[in-house]
Chains A and B, each alone.
Chain A
Amino acid sequence: MTDISLEETIRSFNNTGYPFPEDKTIHSLFEEQVERTPHHIAAMFRGASLTYRELNEKANSLAYLLREKGVRPDVIVGILLERSLEMIVGIFAILKAGGAYLPISPAYPVQRVQHLLRESAAPILLTQTQLISRFSIDPDEAEVIPIDLNGPVYTYPTLNLQPVNSPHDLVYVIYTSGSTGKPKGVGVEHYSLVNRLNWMQRKYPISLTDTILQKTPYFFDVSVWEMFWWSIVGARVSFLIPGGERFPQAIIETVQTHSVTVMHFVPSMMSVFLEYLRNSQSDIQRMSTLRQVFASGEKLTVANVRAFYDVLFIQNKTQLANLYGPTEATVDVTYYDCPMDDSLLHTIDKIPIGKPIDNTQMYILGENGELLPVGETGELYIGGVGVARGYLNNPQLTSERFILFNPQGLFLQKPPLDPAKTPDNNPPLTESFKGVQGGVFQKAHLLYKTGDLARWLDNGNIEYLGRQDFQVKIHGLRIELGEIESVLSRHPLVRDCAVIVKQFSQNITLIVGYIVPKAENVSSGELKEYLKNLLPEYMVPNMFVIMENFPLTPSGKVDRNALPDPSGLFGTKK
């Protein structure tokens, strides 16, 4: 294959241009929807609900307060809540005020909450009264405002606010694990999210009769489409009870009660969920409203898809799509519709992550940045409107991972206008696309370097092949082992440490910490307590192995492959 035909092939795989409402913010699209369906149910939680108008008025009222307190475009506002109606009221209030929301887990240790607020310079933290006592936030650092719906804060006007945002303002900041020991905040702009949602609605249309389950913890970016997609098309969202994401019984109950039609699973959870369902025809029946499942967050296997076919497709005709994307590229950048075809599922051995979504380009590059042809494994780079603004307050890391595109301008293209649409809903292209030829520094020039290994298949699908580094995923949660090691190594009794992930069985994957202590009296319980004060629970190693010294490679590094298997170390005889 000559270079020219290689370029043409990759260009054809990336021919994804499609118009989207790029002059809009996500909250302006919601406000337009409120006008269309004011009395339709918007959000449900347990037995309570809000109509579009009620949600809009609550959010407006709170937004006036936030604006009075100084919230402006690109001001980050923290929000720390359990799943509830307050969650969506608070998020829309932050956006309407002009700011960007920073979701924080109520389960995070206090020190991490304080760190996130400080690092993002968030002047305000929205929360619920029941959670306030758990956190001691210095009032000089951030003002804590409880936003309980039956509380006293909703005294401001309920009309829509004067818009202050451009589509290139931040909509949210989500922190992910950072290998150097500190979490890194990814800032995403409105227009990236609007494109992502517009694509999803185009590809998997939902309407007034649909309900999306909000199940993903809101500090992971998968939650973003659950949080907003329904709101721009007149559908509904159902907030699963707090903690319910861990239990099939809670999920089944909510799907049935709120007639959920669309939901997400991380593959490992989907796997155990399907095995649970397989036992019970009546439980499968209770899931009969479910039309579409999206899987992402970790590798989806053929076995997962076969189980889905057996349990949910056969009886309920539910469909399954596999999505892929890092937080740095706005939730998802590729999609693949899993074939619901029993004989086909017995002939394939891998599920691809699929093809790029609207206005998105994927590149698989070799070690010298050269384009790789179909079939060759390289690192995956992402370009297009989904590429995030970068890491908050971290220009160095941003420039390492968000890379200026090849100045020759190869592969850059303008999305074609849709001739089927009227000029009114077929707006002009963004400056970022127009500016591509001009060679000016524009967002469309940036590629995000994922660290993921992949290859092209003949038909333009991409196959995911793992990580280049020590980033791991457990139940879809992204974890840099280096961050855990960095925090662990600061413990006064730790001389040396290594953290690995070990798969014990199909669904049991655990984090194991290996320690060489400075003194003999360090216990794994003490180390766990120490880490729980500094890291989210899901990053604390499940078990520790205390060693006298580490096996080393010839170059003197810890030989991770030679660390002892911890499963033999449980002397649990009766």
Chain B
Amino acid sequence: MRIDTISRPQDTIRQFILDSVNLPDLDDDFDIFETGIVNSLFAIELMTFLEKAFNIKVTMDDLDMANFKTVNTTAQFVLNKQGASGV
């Protein structure tokens, strides 16, 4: 998959979630786990996607579900990882 590097990570992440759960749209602050539209297995699918799409590595220290609960928190997580690795 090619990622447009100019687009905000939110757009990429939101699109991935929408493709996975078959919803028409998704608010970037909508808690996808708490509201029950996805399950814990989806967290792994999401991490797999993030690693591939943003060229980051999710490590043991990152396994806090708070990182992945909304489009916005996930985007912030990605930006932090990219910043930390100097990308």
Q: B48–A268 contact, CB under 8 A?
A: no
- A567 at the binding interface (Cβ < 8 Å): yes
* Bound complex: CA A279 to CA B49 (Å): 9
Chain A residue at smallest Cβ distance from B26: A572
- B42 at the binding interface (Cβ < 8 Å): yes
Chain B residue at smallest Cβ distance from A277: B48
- Within 8 Å CB of B30, what residues of A? 572
Q: B48–A507 contact, CB under 8 A?
A: no
- B85 at the binding interface (Cβ < 8 Å): no
- A269 at the binding interface (Cβ < 8 Å): yes
- A247 at the binding interface (Cβ < 8 Å): yes
Q: A507–B27 contact, CB under 8 A?
A: no
Query: Do A248 and B44 form a contact, CB below 8 Å, given A279-B51, A505-B22?
Result: yes
Q: B36–A543 contact, CB under 8 A?
A: yes
- B66 at the binding interface (Cβ < 8 Å): no
- B35 at the binding interface (Cβ < 8 Å): yes
- Within 8 Å CB of B59, what residues of A? 249
* Bound complex: CA A574 to CA B29 (Å): 9
* Bound complex: CA A248 to CA B59 (Å): 10
Count chain B residues whose beta carbon lies closer than 8 angstroms to a beta carbon of A. Answer: 30
Q: B36–A504 contact, CB under 8 A?
A: no
- A570 at the binding interface (Cβ < 8 Å): yes
- Within 8 Å CB of B87, what residues of A? none
* Bound complex: CA A574 to CA B25 (Å): 8
- Within 8 Å CB of B62, what residues of A? 249
- Within 8 Å CB of B27, what residues of A? 572-574
- Within 8 Å CB of A28, what residues of B? none
In B20-35, the 8 Å CB interface with A consists of: 20-28, 30, 35
* Bound complex: CA A498 to CA B58 (Å): 39
- A495 at the binding interface (Cβ < 8 Å): no
CB proximity of B80 to chain A, nearest CB, Å: 17
- A452 at the binding interface (Cβ < 8 Å): no
- Within 8 Å CB of A268, what residues of B? 41
CB proximity of B48 to chain A, nearest CB, Å: 5
- Within 8 Å CB of A275, what residues of B? 44-45, 48
In A502-535, the 8 Å CB interface with B consists of: 504-505, 507-510
CB proximity of A542 to chain B, nearest CB, Å: 3
- Within 8 Å CB of B52, what residues of A? 279
- B47 at the binding interface (Cβ < 8 Å): yes
Partner of B22, one of A246, A509, A567: A567
- Within 8 Å CB of A509, what residues of B? 39
* Bound complex: CA A247 to CA B40 (Å): 9
Chain B residue at smallest Cβ distance from A474: B39
- B60 at the binding interface (Cβ < 8 Å): yes
CB proximity of A490 to chain B, nearest CB, Å: 22
- B43 at the binding interface (Cβ < 8 Å): yes
- Within 8 Å CB of B63, what residues of A? 247, 249-250
Q: A247–B44 contact, CB under 8 A?
A: yes
Ordered by A's residue number, 19 sampled pairs between the chains whose C-beta atoms are within 8 Å are A248-B44, A249-B58, A249-B62, A250-B63, A272-B44, A275-B48, A279-B51, A280-B51, A475-B41, A508-B20, A508-B42, A509-B39, A541-B36, A542-B36, A543-B35, A567-B23, A570-B35, A573-B25, A573-B27
Q: CB within 8 Å of A: which residues of B?
A: 20-28, 30, 35-45, 47-48, 51-52, 58-60, 62-63
Q: Which 7 A-B pairs have the closest CB atoms?
A: A542-B36, A272-B44, A543-B36, A276-B48, A507-B41, A574-B27, A572-B27
